[in-house]
Copies of this chain bind each other. A is one copy, B any other.
Amino acid sequence: MTSTALTGIGLLVTHDPEFGELRDAALIIDEDRIAWIGQPADVPAADDATDLDGRCVIPGFVDSHTHLVFAGDRAPEFEARMAGQPYTAGGIQSTVAATRAASDDELTAHAATLLAEMLASGTTTTEIKTGYGLSTVDEQRSAQVAARLSDDVTFLGAHVVPPEYADRPEDYVALVTGPMLDACAPHCRWIDVFCDRGAFDADQVRAILTAGAARGLGLRVHANQLAHGPGVQLAVELGAASADHCTHLSDADVQALAGSATVATLLPGAEFSTRSPYPDARLLLDAGVTVALATDCNPGSSYTSNMAFCIALAVREMGMTPAEALWAASAGGARALRRDDVGVIAVGARADLVALRAPSPVHLAYRPGVPLVEATWKDGQPISARL
């Protein structure tokens, strides 16, 4: 197959300034790219054609924050938390133990299953972090597993300090910025650090991100999830592509983000599954901050992989309009990954598309929990919604 015409699109939401939203549209996929967008009457010849019978088409979701490389689950911890136990970063250690014990093939198969689930639910670009290895060999294995599945792999050796370094965290920072970074950097595009209570402090974060930048990695920060802290300010100061979580922000944090190229990536699945207050997306948007939505898919604090669910939460809980939430879940995620080839339906962009069983993407929030993704195309290839 070289080119396919998608016809009968009832509503095409492009996120492209030239095209905006088109009613009764068509487009041409050429190999892995979008080659043409326009009215059905003008559609050029193509090798193949699919009639979408009036369905709505949107850009594939861009999930810029996931932790897909792990083993085991933490359902009992979830049940305990829902019964009143607080969430802390400490639970990560149980996943670290399971991940270290798993083979590369097991880790790959599990991550691939989650990725297939995400593709079927409309997510066509997925960043994947390491961070459940926390030894040089296990972080390297995690990075290699992630690199088989994603172009956007993030080294998160600085997720938490592992138990064997509990009484000498500075030695762990030296490991992360030294041999572990050496082992992982060749497989990664990004470096991230969990800057929060119970994780890493400002000096440690600065040392880790600076070391990563020196190896050519782009910067990301887990910032201000569990409490106020220096994460957002550091992210802006160091030019990070994204500050993620942003649950507890001061006015100065909001102003810093607004004056920067750092995206605020909000992860409402984490607030849902830890029964925490949600970040104030409305405040950020009104201040001019670029906002992305991501799932944070991980076995501890947010085991959803479903971007539509996060859109529904963003509208219900965070003051976003349905249109803002859709943009944040696709174009916003692309900004957070500093990519211009995804998150938008534009000539030359990747043919990453979602057809909805709904007349408009408002239904993603209006019909919460309902699987509305009927078909997904990634790099021009159709993916069944059935796993």
Contacts and interface: CB of A to CB of B under 8 A. Distances in A.
A386 interface: yes
Nearest to A82: B315
Copies of the polypeptide in the assembly: 2
A369 B306 CA distance: 6
A121 interface: yes
A316 interface: yes
A371 B371 contact: yes
A304 B308 CA distance: 13
Interface stretch (A188-196, A269-277, A333-341): A269-277
Q: Report the interface size class on chain A.
A: 35 or more
A149 interface: no
A316 B362 contact: no
A261 to B, nearest CB: 29
A368 interface: yes
A67 to B, nearest CB: 14
A116 to B, nearest CB: 11
Interface in A254-280: 269, 272-273, 275
A321 B79 contact: yes
A368 B316 contact: no
A387 B374 CA distance: 9
Given A367-B303, A368-B273, A369-B308, A387 B78 contact: no
Contacts of A368: 269, 272-273, 304, 306, 309, 369
Given A368-B309, A369-B369, A385-B386, A322 B363 contact: no
B306 A363 contact: no
Q: Please list the 4 inter-chain residue pairs (A to B) with the smallest Cβ-Cβ separation, ordered nearest first.
A: A309-B369, A306-B369, A386-B386, A78-B366
Given A78-B362, A78-B365, A272-B368, 16 more contacts: A75-B363, A75-B366, A82-B316, A82-B322, A121-B371, A272-B316, A273-B366, A304-B369, A306-B368, A306-B369, A306-B370, A308-B369, A368-B369, A369-B369, A371-B371, A385-B386
A357 interface: yes
Contacts of A309: 368-370
A316 B275 contact: yes
Contacts of A117: 370
A82 B386 CA distance: 31
A384 B386 CA distance: 10
A21 to B, nearest CB: 14
A45 interface: no
Contacts of A269: 368-369
Residue of A75, A83, A117, A308 contacting most chain B CB atoms (<10 Å): A75
A322 B76 CA distance: 11
Interface in A332-387: 357, 359-360, 362-363, 365-371, 374, 384-387
Interface string A291-313: 00000000000011110111010
